[in-house]
Chain A
Amino acid sequence: MSGQALHEPFEDLERQRLAAAFGMWIFLATEILFFGSAFLAFSVYRQLHPEGMLAAARETNIVLGSVNTAILLASSVTMAVADKAAEQMRKRETILCLALTAAFGLGFLVVKLFEYREDIAERLVPGPHFALTEPGAQLFFGFYWVMTGIHAIHLTIGIVIVLITIWRIRRGSLAYGRSGFLPSLGLYWHLVDVVWIFLFPLLYLGGRA
C-alpha cells in the first residue's frame, strides 16, 4: 500500500517524474553557483597570500578529514542502492539502505564535531587569540569555518529529509517506487557529497605535498 503517485497538475506519471528530476537539476545548478562563488573567493585569496594560506592548511586534521571523506563516499553508495531498490519496489531493502545513509551522514557530523573541538582547542578560530601569525592564515580559517559550516547545514537538511522519507515509506504514504521523489533526493545527497570532494583538497591537502 503506497500513497498516490500522480499529483496535479500532471496527467501522466512519466512527465511528472521528468519534471521532478529537471527541477532538482536546476536547483543543483543554483547550489553549484552558491558554493562555486565561495570556492572562487577562496582561490583569489590563495593567489594573493599563498604562504599564509598553505601554512594554515597544514594545521587542519587530515586524519579526521580523510575518515569523513570515506564515510561520505560510503553514504552515497547506500543512497544509490536505496534508489535502485525502490525502483524494484523492494520496500525492506529501500528502508535499510536509507537508514544506513542517514547513519553515515550522522557519523560524518559526529566526526566533524570532534574535529571542531580540536580546532577550537588549538586556537584556530580567527580573532585576537589566533594561533598563527602569517598574513592570510586568518583568512584561510575564516573560509574553513564558513564553508564546512554551510556544508554541515546542507548535510543536516539531507539527513532530516532521509529520516522523514523512511517514516513515510514505513507508513505507506509515499509512492516511493514511482513518484520520482527518491531519485531527486538522491541527486541532492550526491551533490552534498560532491561539494565535500572539492572542499577536502582545498582545505586539507594544500601545503602537504
Chain B
Amino acid sequence: MSANGKKKGRKALFAQGNEAVVEGALIAGCSFYAGYPITPSSEIMESMAQKLPSRPEGVFVQMEDEIGGLGAVIGASLAGRKAMTATSGPGFSLMQEHIGYACMVEAPLVLVNVMRGGPSTGLPTSPAQGDVQQARWGTHGDHPIIVLSASDVQECLEMTVTAFNMAEKYRTPVILLLDEITAHTREKIFVPPVEEFEIVNRTTPTMPPEWYKPYEETVRGVPPMPPLGSGYRFHVTGLSHDINGFPTSRPDEVVALMDRMHRKIDQFLYQVQIVREIECADCEVCVVAYGSVARSAELAVTQARGQGLKAGLLKLGTLFPFPRRALEKILGHSRAVIVPEMNMGQISREVKRVNNGRAQVRTVNRVDGQIITPDEILKAIKKV
C-alpha cells in the first residue's frame, strides 16, 4: 500500500468509499463493468456508467440481474479486459455459481460486495459484515479464493488497485468486501498519479499458437492467458479439464488441476496476505478487526494504551487466505485476542482455529445494523 497523502502531484478528492473503488479500478486499468444495481453498492455502478463510456476502451452494460452481470464480466475477462462488477448481499448470493466458474476457468476479475444485513433482503441500508464466510465458501466445491477488505475511503481506492493486480497476477477472481459505513462515508482522500502505482497485467503467451496449452503447469502455477480472438484458439469449460482445456474425469488430471489451482495462490501467501500491525510488538491483548470496525478498534487501542494497557490491533486487509502467520506471531505474546465483527462471529472462527486453545479468544458481535463503537471494544479489552 502507498499514499500517505502528503506528496505533491496528488489530486485531493472528497469522496465516499464506493466512488473511491471506481477511482481505484480506473487507475488499475479496468475498462469493463457489467452489473445490476443494489443498495448499498449502487454508487459504484452509477459512477461507472458515468465514466466508462467516455474513456477510449471503456464499456458499461447494465445486465438483467447479477448472474448476468458476473457472466458478462467473465466473458469480457476472457476477451482480454480488466473487468469488474459490484453488488450487495442478495446479489452476491446469486453470483455464487459464476464465482466458481471464474475460479475454474481462471478468469481474472474483481467483484466488490458491499455487505448488507441479512439473511435475505435483511437490512438494506445498514452496515454488516455477514458475507465473510460466503465469500470464502459460497460456491460449491473446493477452490482457492482471495478476499480483501478495506476500512476507509483511501483504502477503498488502494485495495481496488491491489485487487486487480492480484486478479491479473494469479488469474483468479478477487472479492473485495466492504461494509456500508466504509462505502458511504465521505472523506478527503488523495488520488496519487497512476505512475505511483505498480500495475500488473496478466501474462499472455509468446509461443506459436500451435504450441500453446491453455492450462499447462508453469513455475508460478499460472498459465499465460491470451484474449479470445488473438489467434490462440482453445476451449474454456467449467468442467474439470486437462492441460489442453478439454473435459476430463481422469483422476490424475483432475487432481493435477486442483493442485495447481491451490498452489498458484498458496505458494505466494506472503504476497497475498495483507495485514497492518498497530501497537502489536509488545501487546498482551490483541484486537483482530477489519472494515469499518477496525477504525473503532484503532481508537480503542489508543485509548487503552493511554490507560496503561498493553493493547494492539491486527488489522486484516486480506481475509482469505486467512493471514495465519501474522496472527501466530502475535499469539506468541498475547494472553487474549478480541474479535469484534458486525456478524455472529465469522472471522473469529478463523482466529479460534489458528489460536487452537492458546490464548483467550473473546468476540464482540453486532447483527442489528449498528456500528461497533470504540467504547464497546475498549470495554472488552479491559475485561480480559
Instruction: Answer yes or no: are A and B bound together in one complex.
Output: no
